[in-house]
């Protein structure tokens, strides 16, 4: 900020008209001005301050507008769609499971009734002909006891298997990554607006979906790498033969990587794939693949990265949206 002007005369000439008489020195910009131009210089500073106040008001108005339109963010629609699809799939699986369970229970009941009818016919014939003795009664009691135990055992042997590896629901996770853009804006009159600000930011939000134990946990669009995690819930390494990475940028689709044959991601580990040269600052504790022949990625406002298995099924994806400030 420019400080008060010194009232002392100096031999320096005015930076505006080169006159050497009656020059005042500005402690802010370290320039000298004559009596006429010192007033103009001060007015320039006042105008710049007005510009800063105006920009402040514009940003504040933009934030207020964003608050009012927050519910219109595109990811809310995707979350709602994911919720509807997930509920629909859950309802479908639940309906199928109930149908199967009812069929099993009906089968057990029918089996019991058939066996009871056979025994009833034996009882009726024996009673009709008065043809039964102690050993017949013991045998029939044993048959009834065995049938009851059989029905109980068949009912208790119905189980529900929770198979996380074939889940029909893709889990989602919302992430926010502030991305730094280097910038410096210089204004007229040797005045640097917000000279202490070294970066501006723009919004990059992402939504992560995955199924099973393999997921995409990070897509870095600046350094061009992708982190894939095997969270270990299946307690085994994942064979990636035939798997691919696909990238959609503003609806333009491109396969960016095919995994080598018999390549495996170890349980409870993270794999980082570089698309281009590997930087020297890489983390040593990650397994890495460097795809040096890769071309630079396309950039856009809507980016989706897919991980697709050898059966052409989507196993994980990250949706990234970018809004310039």
CATH 3.20.20.70 fits 196-321, yes or no: no
- Residue 23: band (very low, low, confident or very high) from pLDDT cuts 50, 70, 90: low
Tens of pLDDT, residues 226-275: 999 988 777 789 999 999 999 998 878 888 899 999 999 998 899 999 99
Mean pLDDT in residue range 23-33: 81
> CA-CA distance, 235 to 277, in Å (whole number)?
32
- What are the distances in angstroms from CA 170 to CA 19, 235, 268? 76, 19, 19
Q: Is the pLDDT of residue 198 over 80?
A: no
**H/E stretch holding 314:** strand 314-323
Average pLDDT, the chain: 77
Q: Quote the pLDDT of residue 152.
A: 87
Q: Is the pLDDT of residue 279 over 80?
A: no
Task: Return the number of other C-beta atoms located less than 10 Å from residue 57's C-beta.
Answer: 10
Better pLDDT: 300 or 168: 300
> CA-CA distance, 100 to 93, in Å (whole number)?
10
By mean pLDDT, which of 91-95, 212-216, 279-283, 302-306 is the weakest?
A: 279-283
Q: Is the pLDDT of residue 10 over 60?
A: no
Local structure of residue 317 (DSSP, 8 states): E
Q: Quote the pLDDT of residue 227.
A: 93
Q: Quote the pLDDT of residue 201.
A: 31
Cβ neighbors of 184 (< 8 A, separation 6 or more) are 192, 195, 198
Q: Which of 16-25, 132-141, 183-192 has the highest mean pLDDT?
A: 132-141
Tens of pLDDT, residues 71-129: 877 778 888 888 888 888 888 878 888 888 888 888 889 988 998 999 899 889 988 88
Cβ neighbors of 239 (< 8 A, separation 6 or more) are 262, 263, 264
| The residue to which tokens 């066996």 are assigned | 115
Q: Is the pLDDT of residue 172 over 80?
A: no
- Residue 27: band (very low, low, confident or very high) from pLDDT cuts 50, 70, 90: confident
Q: Quote the pLDDT of residue 2.
A: 40
- DSSP string of 46-57? HHHHHHHHHHHH
> CA-CA distance, 325 to 65, in Å (whole number)?
13
**Within 13 Å, how many C-alpha atoms sit on residue 300's CB side?**
14
> CA-CA distance, 221 to 299, in Å (whole number)?
8
Q: Is the pLDDT of residue 289 over 50?
A: yes
Q: Quote the pLDDT of residue 282.
A: 54
Annotated domain spans of the chain: 25-71, 74-157, 196-321
Q: Is the pLDDT of residue 301 over 50?
A: yes
């Amino acid at each position: 900020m420019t400080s008060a002007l010194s009232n002392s005369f100096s031999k320096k000439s005015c930076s505006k008209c080169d006159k050497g008489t009656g020059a005042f020195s500005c402690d802010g910009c370290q320039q000298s001005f004559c009596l006429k131009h010192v007033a103009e210089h001060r007015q320039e500073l006042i105008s710049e301050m007005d510009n800063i106040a105006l920009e402040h008001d514009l940003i504040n108005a933009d934030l207020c507008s964003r608050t009012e339109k927050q519910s219109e963010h595109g990811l809310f629609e995707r979350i709602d769609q994911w919720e509807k699809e997930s509920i629909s799939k859950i309802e479908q699986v639940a309906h199928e499971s109930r149908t199967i369970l009812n069929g099993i229970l009906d089968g057990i009941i029918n089996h019991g009734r058939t066996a009871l009818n056979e025994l009833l016919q034996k009882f009726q014939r024996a009673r009709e002909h008065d043809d039964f003795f102690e050993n017949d009664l013991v045998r029939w009691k044993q048959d009834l006891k065995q049938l009851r135990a059989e029905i109980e055992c068949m009912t208790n042997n119905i189980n529900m298997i929770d198979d996380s590896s074939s889940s029909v629901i893709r889990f989602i996770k919302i992430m926010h990554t502030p991305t730094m853009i280097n910038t410096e804006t210089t204004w007229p009159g040797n005045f640097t607006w917000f000279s202490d600000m070294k970066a501006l930011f723009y919004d990059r939000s992402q939504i992560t979906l995955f199924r099973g134990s393999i997921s995409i946990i990070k897509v870095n669009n600046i350094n061009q790498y992708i982190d894939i995690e095997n969270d270990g819930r299946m307690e085994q390494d994942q064979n990636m033969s035939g798997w691919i990475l696909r990238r959609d940028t503003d609806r333009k689709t491109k396969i960016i990587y095919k995994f080598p044959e018999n390549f495996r991601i170890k349980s409870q580990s993270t794999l980082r794939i570089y698309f281009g040269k590997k930087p020297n600052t890489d983390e040593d504790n990650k397994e890495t693949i460097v795809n040096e022949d890769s071309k630079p990625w396309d950039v856009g406002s809507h980016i989706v990265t897919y991980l697709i298995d050898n059966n052409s099924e989507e196993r994980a994806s990250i949706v990234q949206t970018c809004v310039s400030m």
